[in-house]
Structure 1
C-alpha cells in the first residue's frame, strides 16, 4: 500500500473508487470531479494497492463568510473489499500529520464514534448547513465561538443530487 497525493493520472481511479464506495450515489464522485474541473484548492490523498485506489480523502476550505476558517474533510472513502481493515484509519492518520492539515481547524460531517477516535469532537459552532442540530458535525482544533453557518465550496451544492448529506458515509 502506498499513500500519495492525488495526481492527474490517479483521478480516474479516485472517481471509480468513490462510485464503488458509495453504491447508489454519484454525489461523491461528481463532487470531487467538479472540484477538480473548477480548479478548487484541495488537499487530497489516495491509497494505492496493486495500482488500484483503495482509499481516498480530501480537505477543502471551510468558510466564515468569504474568509477561510478551516478545512472540511469530505469525502473520505474506502473500497468495499478493504473496509474494516484499518485502511481508512491509516489514510486519515497520515493526512492529519501533513501540512497544512495538522495545524488548521478541521470539520467533518460523519459518524461521531468513528471520528472521535481521531480527536474530533461534537461541534456546536459553527452551524453545518447539511446537518440539522449539528448532530453529526464534528471538529478538531476549532476554537470558534461565533454563531454562523459554515460555508462550503459551491460544488457541494451543485454536484449530482443524491439523498443524504455530503461527506456522511451511508451504510
Structure 2
C-alpha cells in the first residue's frame, strides 16, 4: 500500500472510487472532478494497492470572506471492500503530517466519532453553511473566536 499524490492518469480511478464509496450520491465525485476541471488548488492524496486506487483524501481552501482561513477536509473515501481496515485512518494520519496541512486550521463536516480520534473537536465558530447548529462541523488548530460563516470553494455549491 502506497500513499502518493494522484496523477492525471489516476483521476478516472479516483472518480470510480468516489462512485463506489458513495453509491447514493454523485456529489463527492462531481466535486473532485470539478476541482480538477477548474484547476482549483487542492491538496490531495491517493492510497494505491496493487495498482488500484483504494482510498482518497482532499483538502480545499476555507474562507473568511475573501481571505483564506484554513482548509476543508473533503472528501475522504475508501473503497467499500477495504473499509473498516484502518486505511482511512492511515490516510488521515498521513495527511495531517504533511507540512501544508499541519500548518493550517482544518475544518471537516463529518462523523464526530471518527474525526475526534485525530484531534478534531466540535467547532463553535466559524459557522458551517451546510450544518445547522454545527452538530457535525469539527475543526483542528482553529483558534478563531470571530462569528462568521466559513466559505467554501465554488465547486461545493456547483457540484
Query: Does TM, normalized by the shorter one, top 0.5?
Result: yes
Q: Which residue of 1 aligns with 2:80?
A: 80
Larger RCO (CA within 8 A; separation ≥ 6): 1
**Shift in Å, 1:7:** 1.3
Distance 1:7 1:63 in 2: 27
Q: Which residue of 1 aligns with 2:114?
A: 114
Distance 2:65 2:24 in 1: 33
The two structures have a TM-score, normalised by structure 2, of 0.99
Q: Which residue of 1 aligns with 2:156?
A: 156
Distance 2:7 2:67 in 1: 27
Number of equivalences: 159
Distance 1:5 1:99 in 2: 14
The 4+ residue runs of structure 1 with deviation greater than 2 A are none
State the secondary structure of the residue aligned to 1:100.
helix
Q: Which structure 1 residue ranges, 5 or more long, are not aligned?
A: 160-171
Note the aligned Cα RMSD (angstroms): 0.5
Q: Which residue of 2 aligns with 1:52?
A: 52
If each structure's helix is expressed as a fraction of its own residues, which one has the higher value? 2
The two structures have a TM-score, normalised by structure 1, of 0.92
Q: Which structure 2 residue ranges, 5 or more long, are not aligned?
A: none
Distance 1:25 1:126 in 2: 27
